[in-house]
Amino acid sequence: MTKVLVTAALLAALLPTNAALADDHVIAPPDSLKWSAGPPSLPAGAQIAIVSGDPGKEGLYVLRLRLPAGFKVPPHMHPNDENVTVISGTFNIAMGEKFDDSKGPALKTGSFAKAPKGMAHYAWFPEETIIQIHGLGPAGVTYVNPADDPRKK
């Protein structure tokens, strides 16, 4: 019986308390988001709003990107799964190492896409679009063709 009580006490100590969970509570109405210039890893014109967490650090994060009509992201990969939900507009995504806008579906508001860790993919946006990306950080972008990387221009 003592072993059971000690084990239960240890497990209870490891579980987060309600106070700790409250620290992670996030409410983010769209008009409360703070938009800024997109990250240097994306072509110019993108805007970003961090919803929760920090994509540059270990742990979960949620961010939104606002992308203008005609925006394109060349073939690239991520070190972790990338999970994307379309908030508004149209998000086109295709897998592969060469950009071909005849491939891939046009995902409308409410759609979801997942690009697994290390899978080459690319995207384009025929109209202004807002997407929400969530994943496990640290996030990163590696372009298939290093010349496509805006950080090197």
What CATH number is associated with residue 34? 2.60.120.10
Of 1-5, 43-47, 126-130, least confident by mean pLDDT is: 1-5
Q: Are 76 and 122 in contact (CB under 8 A)?
A: yes
Cα Rg for the chain, rounded, in angstroms? 19
**Chain centroid offset of residue 81 CA:** 9
Q: Please indicate, yes or no, if residue 74 is contained in any of the structural domains.
A: yes
Distance CA 116, CA 125 (A): 20
pTM, two decimals, is 0.84
Which comes out higher in pLDDT, residue 29 or 60?
60
**Full residue range of the structural domain in which residue 146 is found:** 28-152
Q: Please indicate, yes or no, if residue 6 is contained in any of the structural domains.
A: no
> What H or E segment, with its residue span, contains residue 145?
none
Q: Please indicate, yes or no, if residue 67 is contained in any of the structural domains.
A: yes
Residue 107: is its pLDDT beyond 70? yes
Q: Please indicate, yes or no, if residue 98 is contained in any of the structural domains.
A: yes
Q: Please indicate, yes or no, if residue 120 is contained in any of the structural domains.
A: yes
Q: Please indicate, yes or no, if residue 70 is contained in any of the structural domains.
A: yes
What is the torsional sign of CA 97, 102, 108, 112?
Answer: negative
Q: Please indicate, yes or no, if residue 95 is contained in any of the structural domains.
A: yes
Q: Please indicate, yes or no, if residue 110 is contained in any of the structural domains.
A: yes
| pLDDT band at residue 31 under the 50/70/90 scheme | confident
Number of domains in the chain: 1
Structure tokens at 71: 């925006």
| pLDDT band at residue 11 under the 50/70/90 scheme | very low
Q: Which of 56, 59, 20, 61 is nearest to 39 (CA)?
A: 56
